[in-house]
């Protein structure tokens, strides 16, 4: 299958979070795509570097890349579920304000600032895609199990940010498609401590599925799963 057939030949792409499992797999897949002339992978160790907790790095990276644009595809593949000091909460008793703030900083505020600084790099005319990795557990309607307060709520906030930005950006870039995407459970550091009962994708498989969804999506402001199905907000 030819990806992004409605993009111009030699289109350029940016992947933010290129050092992570899904991000690095997206970079590799795009680098192997004949019609993609250039894919720029950004992370805390790249040049230019980006740190979602430091807005100045996002602004500087966007400014550095702007002169070589436009970019028809921009992907943000960054998120946190757990760390040394952060674990998904199983009950209200486990809520900690500092950990909640960290979840929101990385899962919602950081991606919002990416959209702020990188959306201007999309072309004014012609279809383009700006996609941000979310998670099905960010769906309020689909929440049946409870728990994971910070992760769920921060992903819900991210979904609202993507939806709201899609409305604003459509006024000046009417063919830009903004997406919140659920990658499924992927064998990365984010999910390594969990043993889900459903299928676990490799990063390369997840990247292939997500890129296919991005390639096919024509309507902006959607929350889509890795198979292209709509997820309720």
Query: Would you say residue 110 lies in a domain?
Result: yes
pLDDT of residue 49: 96
Domain of 179, in residue numbers = 11-225
pLDDT of residue 81: 87
- Measure the CA–CA gap between 220 and 130, rounded to whole angstroms: 9
DSSP state, 54? Answer: B
> In which region does residue 52 sit, left (phi positive, over 0), alpha (psi from -120 to 50) or beta (all else)?
alpha
Element (H, E) at 206: helix 203-216
Query: Would you say residue 218 lies in a domain?
Result: yes
CA dihedral sign, ordered 197, 140, 166, 63: negative
pLDDT of residue 28: 98
Averaged pLDDT, groups of 10, the chain, 233 residues long: 91 97 97 96 96 97 97 95 78 92 96 98 97 96 91 97 98 98 84 62 96 98 97 96
pLDDT of residue 196: 58
Query: Would you say residue 3 lies in a domain?
Result: no
Query: Would you say residue 161 lies in a domain?
Result: yes
In this prediction the pTM is 0.94
Query: Would you say residue 231 lies in a domain?
Result: no
Query: Would you say residue 206 lies in a domain?
Result: yes
Query: Would you say residue 117 lies in a domain?
Result: yes
Query: Would you say residue 233 lies in a domain?
Result: no
Secondary structure class of 179 (helix, strand, coil): strand
CATH number reported for the structural domain that contains residue 96 in this entry: 3.40.50.720
Please classify residue 196 by burial: count the beta carbons closer than 10 Å to its beta carbon, then call 0-12 exposed, 13-18 middle and 19+ buried. Answer: exposed
For 167, how many CA atoms within 13 A lie in the half-sphere containing its CB?
A: 5
Total domain count, the chain: 1
């Amino acid at each position: 299958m030819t990806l992004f057939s409605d993009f111009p030949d030699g289109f350029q792409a940016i992947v933010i979070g290129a050092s992570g499992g899904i991000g690095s797999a997206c970079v590799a897949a795009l680098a192997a795509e004949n019609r993609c002339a250039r894919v720029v992978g950004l992370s805390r160790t790249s040049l230019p570097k980006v740190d979602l907790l430091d807005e100045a790095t996002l602004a500087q990276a966007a400014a550095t890349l702007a002169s070589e644009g436009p970019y028809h595809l921009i992907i943000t593949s960054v998120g946190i579920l757990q760390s040394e000091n952060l674990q998904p909460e199983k009950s209200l008793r486990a809520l900690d304000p500092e950990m909640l703030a960290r979840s929101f900083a990385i899962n919602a505020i950081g991606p919002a600032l990416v959209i702020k600084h990188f959306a201007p790099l999309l072309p004014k005319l012609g279809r383009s895609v700006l996609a941000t990795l979310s998670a099905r557990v960010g769906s309020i309607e689909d929440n049946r199990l409870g728990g994971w307060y910070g992760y769920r709520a921060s992903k819900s906030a991210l979904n609202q940010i993507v939806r709201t930005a899609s409305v604003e950006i459509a006024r000046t870039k009417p063919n830009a498609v903004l997406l919140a995407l659920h990658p499924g459970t992927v064998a990365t550091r984010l999910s390594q401590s969990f043993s889900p009962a459903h299928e676990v994708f490799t990063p390369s498989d997840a990247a292939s599925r997500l890129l296919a969804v991005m390639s096919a999506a024509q309507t902006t402001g959607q929350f889509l799963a890795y198979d292209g199905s709509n997820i309720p907000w």
